[in-house]
């Protein structure tokens, strides 16, 4: 009795990424830090690819400075970041030297726990990151991208976990990005990992609330021995986000499980974000309920809206149902990749092409790369005929090595490119920012001196700047606003995502 359940609070990263299109500015997070630092959470998730991207793309904020501020304001907490293995925070494979530099700099600037995943669950894409984290003495968490398919059995996932432990991981995360993890598989999976890897390997479950079942899955995971779960304060929870921290604490009463989380601190954090959230309502996810369709379609909501706009651009908006029926076939042909970034976009776009132009008449370069192994290995067998088409299309060989093995050292080149940019301060952090987002970094370096902007809007005190007009959703013009925050006027320009 009285077994301790640890909690990771997501408000500062995945919660606003899922609910507010990652737009929350640092100034709106700072007031919550002291309470979070004393909340008793096992870790505070606060950094990752999308928040890094949003910092330089929308908020004119240095993501490294954001991390250093978190570190300073939460000296008692483990800070956790999400890392896409060999992709780091970007969308391509980086050469090992860049991976090692990135991890070292992230650790130096404040990260304690690196949650490392690969979209295809190819553990070879995790190895360098794990080694780099261990080399700087930090916590390496190997993360399973949870999905459902004929080849994704409990046994297969347990094997993955065992490989990650063998590679030196300190803990294992079951990362359920889409709310697909049901109670019984949650139980079986945690039980399986614990019995295979030993009770002293921490098991951490991360689930989204989208389908409405995952708080029950947390309960069953805890009964199976899960050590840590991820939640977000209620004012930053539910819908495409996560289960509420307060609900987790309350549900455990008298169950024999308890948390060390200080509910009063968490309620203060909740009140803070409840006050802040309406300023971002322009970015607020429209969906706030529960949707169980994904259990059947296995197609995440974000992927459906992507495909819809692709179809509309081709004046084929009426063919969505055909595309939705095509996705599972494309996924099967590709060896059942989990449908997460980037595999969801790759399979989705290929499905659109298949419907509009005939099955595999045209292959996207990315889909060909996926079929040929350039993203890594999939758990399922690929369709040999489609692989052959990819060979013909891409005029590249099939590879079965780790994709990054084909890369040459690139640090010096990235460094000289970055240093040539106006406003680059010459630090390794700046080189890494450029390496992650080479299209966005140049503009950011140039404007960085103007300081962070906050794209939230105080309800009721927004007024149009001279010459500004009401923002049309379809407009490609940046729109200027004068926003009054806490009595101070800020000139804000909102530009569409590149």
Among 2, 289, 397, 487, binds a second copy (CB under 8 A): 289
CB of 58 to a second copy, least distance (A): 25
- Record the tokens describing residue 482, joined without a space: 């004068």
- Record the tokens describing residue 153, joined without a space: 């059995």
CB of 373 to a second copy, least distance (A): 33
Q: List the interface residues with a second copy, window 185-204 (CB under 8 A).
A: 185
* 290 near a second copy, rule: CB under 8 A: yes
Length, in residues, of the chain: 498
* 155 near a second copy, rule: CB under 8 A: no
CA 193, chain centre distance (Å): 23
Half-sphere exposure of 56 (CA within 13 A, CB side): 27
* 286 near a second copy, rule: CB under 8 A: no
* Closer residue to a second copy, CB minimum distance, 237 or 344: 237
CA distances from 191 to 160, 185, 188 (A): 14, 10, 5
My answer on whether omega of the bond before 342 falls inside 30° of 0, hence cis, is yes
CB of 281 to a second copy, least distance (A): 13
Q: Which helix (H) or strand (E) holds 97?
A: helix 96-109
Q: Cα(378)–Cα(375) distance, rounded to whole angstroms?
A: 9
Q: Cα(230)–Cα(194) distance, rounded to whole angstroms?
A: 18
Identify which of 97, 8, 18 has the alpha carbon closest to the alpha carbon of residue 45. 8
Q: Which of these ranges, 114-122, 208-216, 424-432, 442-450, lies near a second copy under the rule CB under 8 A?
A: 208-216
Cα 264-265-268 angle, rounded to 5 deg:
90
* 60 near a second copy, rule: CB under 8 A: no
Among 69, 125, 141, 243, binds a second copy (CB under 8 A): 243
Among 3, 151, 199, 250, binds a second copy (CB under 8 A): 250
Three-state SS string over 351-377 comes to: HHHHHHHCCCCCCCHHHHHHHHCCCCC
CB of 54 to a second copy, least distance (A): 24
- Record the tokens describing residue 376, joined without a space: 């890594």
- Region of 255 (left: φ > 0; alpha: ψ -120 to 50; beta: rest) is alpha
* Closer residue to a second copy, CB minimum distance, 278 or 409: 278
Q: Cα(376)–Cα(388) distance, rounded to whole angstroms?
A: 17
CB of 222 to a second copy, least distance (A): 10
CB of 230 to a second copy, least distance (A): 15
Q: Which of these ranges, 56-64, 125-133, 212-220, 444-452, lies near a second copy under the rule CB under 8 A?
A: 212-220
* Closer residue to a second copy, CB minimum distance, 213 or 394: 213
* 183 near a second copy, rule: CB under 8 A: yes
* 398 near a second copy, rule: CB under 8 A: no
* Closer residue to a second copy, CB minimum distance, 125 or 237: 237
* 378 near a second copy, rule: CB under 8 A: no
Q: Cα(470)–Cα(65) distance, rounded to whole angstroms?
A: 33
* 411 near a second copy, rule: CB under 8 A: no
Among 31, 97, 212, 301, binds a second copy (CB under 8 A): 212
- Record the tokens describing residue 494, joined without a space: 């909102």
Q: Cα(171)–Cα(160) distance, rounded to whole angstroms?
A: 13
Identify which of 291, 346, 353 has the alpha carbon closest to the alpha carbon of residue 319. 353
Please, which residues bridge with residue 481 across strands?
Answer: 464, 492
* 237 near a second copy, rule: CB under 8 A: yes
CB of 234 to a second copy, least distance (A): 5
- Applying CB under 8 A, the site for a second copy has a residue count of 34
CA distances from 1 to 14, 202, 244, 257, 280 (A): 32, 19, 24, 7, 43
Among 30, 73, 162, 251, binds a second copy (CB under 8 A): 251
* 216 near a second copy, rule: CB under 8 A: yes
Among 2, 253, 450, 467, binds a second copy (CB under 8 A): 253
Among 155, 166, 184, 406, binds a second copy (CB under 8 A): 184
Binding site for a second copy (CB under 8 A): 182-185, 211-213, 215-217, 219-220, 234-235, 237-238, 243-244, 246-247, 249-251, 253-255, 267, 288-293, 295
């Amino acid at each position: 009795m009285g077994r301790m359940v640890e909690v990771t609070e997501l408000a500062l990263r995945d919660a606003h990424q899922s609910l507010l299109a990652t737009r929350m500015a640092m100034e709106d997070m700072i007031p919550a830090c002291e309470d979070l630092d004393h909340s008793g959470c096992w870790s505070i998730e606060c950094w990752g690819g999308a928040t890094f991207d949003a910092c330089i793309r929308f908020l004119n904020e240095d993501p490294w400075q954001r991390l250093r501020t978190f570190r300073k304001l939460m000296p008692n907490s483990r800070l956790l970041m999400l890392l896409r293995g060999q992709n780091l925070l970007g969308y391509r494979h980086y050469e090992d030297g860049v991976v090692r530099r990135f991890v070292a700099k992230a650790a130096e600037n404040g990260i304690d726990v690196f949650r490392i995943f690969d979209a295809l669950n190819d553990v070879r894409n995790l190895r360098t990151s794990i080694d780099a984290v261990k080399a700087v003495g930090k916590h390496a968490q190997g993360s399973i991208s949870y999905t459902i398919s004929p080849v994704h059995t409990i046994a297969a996932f347990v094997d993955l976990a065992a490989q990650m432990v063998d590679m030196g991981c300190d803990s294992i995360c079951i990362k359920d990005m889409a709310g697909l993890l049901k109670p019984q598989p949650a139980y079986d999976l945690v039980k399986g990992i614990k019995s295979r890897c030993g009770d002293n390997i921490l098991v951490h479950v991360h689930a989204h609330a989208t389908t409405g079942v995952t708080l029950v899955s947390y309960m069953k995971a805890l009964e199976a021995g899960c050590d840590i779960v991820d939640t977000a304060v209620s004012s930053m929870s539910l819908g495409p986000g996560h289960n509420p921290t307060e609900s987790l604490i309350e549900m455990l009463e008298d169950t024999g499980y308890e948390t060390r989380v200080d509910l009063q601190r968490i309620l203060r954090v909740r009140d803070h974000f409840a006050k802040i959230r309406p300023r971002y309502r322009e970015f607020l996810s429209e969906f706030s309920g529960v949707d169980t369709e994904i259990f059947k379609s296995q197609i995440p909501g974000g992927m459906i809206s992507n495909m819809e706009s692709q179809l509309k651009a081709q004046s084929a908006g009426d063919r969505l149902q055909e595309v939705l029926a095509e996705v599972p076939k494309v996924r099967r042909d590709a060896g059942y990749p989990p449908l997460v970034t980037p595999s969801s976009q790759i399979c989705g776009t290929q499905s659109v092409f298949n419907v509009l132009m005939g099955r595999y008449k045209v292959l996207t370069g990315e889909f060909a790369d996926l079929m040929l192994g350039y993203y890594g290995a999939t758990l399922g067998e690929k369709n040999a005929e489609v692989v052959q088409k990819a060979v013909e299309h891409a005029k590249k060989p099939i590879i079965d090595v780790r994709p990054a093995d084909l890369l040459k050292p690139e640090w010096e080149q990235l460094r000289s490119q970055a240093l040539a940019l106006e406003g680059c301060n010459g630090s390794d952090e700046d080189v890494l920012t450029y390496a992650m987002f080479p299209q966005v970094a140049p503009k950011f370096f140039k404007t960085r001196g103007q300081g962070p902007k906050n794209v939230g809007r105080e309800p009721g005190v927004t007024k149009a700047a001279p010459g500004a007009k009401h923002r049309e959703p379809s407009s490609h013009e940046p729109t200027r606003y004068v926003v009054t925050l806490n009595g101070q006027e800020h000139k804000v320009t909102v530009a569409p995502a590149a």
